[in-house]
Amino acid sequence: MPEPSIAQHLPRDIIFAILKDTVRSTIPEERSLTALTLSHVCSSFYRAALHCPTIWTCLSRRLGRPGLALIEACMERSQGHPLEVSFYFYAVELSPPTMHSLGEQTLAMDNMVEFVLSSSFRWRSCSIHLTGDDTCSELSSATLDLDSFARRINIAAPMLEDFSIEEHASLADRFCFQSRDRSGIIDFNPGAHWSLPNPRNVTLRNSLPNRIPRSSGRIECLRLFVTKDDMGFADLVLHLPSLASLSSLTHLYLSLINFHIGLVEYTQQIPLSECRGIELGL
């Protein structure tokens, strides 16, 4: 007979510590799969994992990984604890190009959204990723595209503290900044239509400041990362006045990497009376 596993006989508090530390040290996109893997180490780890709800609180899915069954299991096993949610959008062709037109395309959400929306009252963080990834109809939502997710759904997230939007590099490759299809993406601003009373930290990556949530009076930390040049310095400067609404802002970080800073005439003052620290990364 095989020797019993050492892991099988570890004290329960040691197993709990291993579960929590391992999942916490994993990138958010892999945490649910890491929790599942740990639960299969042995029967002791399995029992401990089922009684450790905090390792199941990260809900993230990209291009079919992980499966929806695991997303549902995480929602159940997290037992009411605050959730960290990540949503991915994929490129979808609405009409193919012809000899006389370029065709039309938009972004559709991963169909994970249909399982997770009902838990918005538990969201502690929400990350939205806009990608140019191709996808099949089985992976994207049949009812929620970019516009309907931002404007037509009343999402209430009273516990939300961290909010972020990232435009991936693949998006710029698929949707040129000045194109007709890209205009709808630029206007995408879910924070303007959702009920987010308590956001504290906002991170925008390759995204204009117009996407700052409307309930911006409580935001304490704003991080802006720009790592592509197709946006244009003038476009960024044009939206800087929106920072004036951040009456509680104490920290501002602006990072411009591989970004051409042009000469733009700008004389408007932006009051940031509570801001104690401003960092600029070039």
Please give the Cα distance from 183 to 204 (Å, whole number): 18
Whole-number pLDDT of residue 250: 93
Whole-number pLDDT of residue 265: 64
Task: Report the range of poorest mean pLDDT among 10-14, 60-64, 67-71, 106-110.
Answer: 106-110
Distances (CA, A) of 244 to 171, 240, 265, 267: 29, 8, 19, 14
Handedness of CA 176, 177, 180, 185 (dihedral sign): positive
Of the CA atoms within 13 Å of residue 248, those in its CB half-sphere come to 12
Q: Exposed, middle or buried: residue 150 (CB in 10 Å: 0-12, 13-18, 19+)?
A: buried
- Predicted TM-score (pTM) of this structure: 0.84
Which of 74-78, 173-177, 239-243 reaches the highest mean pLDDT? 74-78
Whole-number pLDDT of residue 181: 56
